[in-house]
């Protein structure tokens, strides 16, 4: 192989590798905050769903959703989201034995496979007031 062909081959390989490295799923969130508003403790449970679309050019998957408080249950789309697919994270908050009045700010962490983030997860913030 002569020098020019070798250089062209190396350039082509580097181009292909960079294109492969750039392919990734990209989550586009409908929103990353939610205000449940004010509600009475007798309501007991409030729910919201946050939709996400994979706007990237590779697969994306929600692997886990974690909250930092025990009165919250998160359900999420299982399986792979191909480019253009949508999924969701549903948050169910149970007031439980909280004595009103109280203002609450909480965060959940959404872990993804197929899209690198600085911390390895996306934060979603929630707030509400119980009267």
Q: What is the spatial distance between Cα 16 and Cα 103, in angstroms, rounded to a whole number? A: 53
Domain 25-130 coded CATH 3.90.230.10: no
Q: What is the spatial distance between Cα 70 and Cα 61, in angstroms, rounded to a whole number? A: 24
Q: Convert the pLDDT of each residue in 38-69 to its tens digit.
A: 877 666 788 889 999 999 999 999 999 988 77
Q: Convert the pLDDT of each residue in 69-122 to its tens digit.
A: 777 888 999 999 999 999 999 988 887 666 667 777 888 888 888 887 766 777
Beta-bridge partners for 109: 66, 123
Identify the band that residue 19 occupies on the pLDDT scale cut at 50, 70 and 90.
very low
Q: What is the mean pLDDT of the chain?
A: 79
């Amino acid at each position: 192989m002569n020098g020019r062909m070798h250089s062209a081959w190396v350039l082509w390989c580097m181009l292909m590798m960079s294109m492969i490295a750039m392919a990734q799923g990209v989550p586009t969130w409908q929103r990353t905050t939610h205000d449940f508003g004010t509600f009475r403790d007798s309501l007991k449970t409030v729910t919201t769903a946050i939709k996400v679309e994979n706007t990237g050019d590779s697969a994306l998957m929600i692997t886990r959703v974690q909250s930092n408080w025990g009165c919250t249950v998160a359900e999420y789309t299982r399986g792979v989201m191909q480019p253009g697919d949508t999924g969701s994270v549903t948050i169910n908050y149970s007031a439980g034995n909280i004595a009103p009045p109280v203002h609450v700010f909480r965060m959940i962490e959404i872990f993804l496979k197929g899209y690198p983030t600085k911390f390895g997860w996306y934060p979603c913030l929630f707030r509400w007031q119980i009267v």
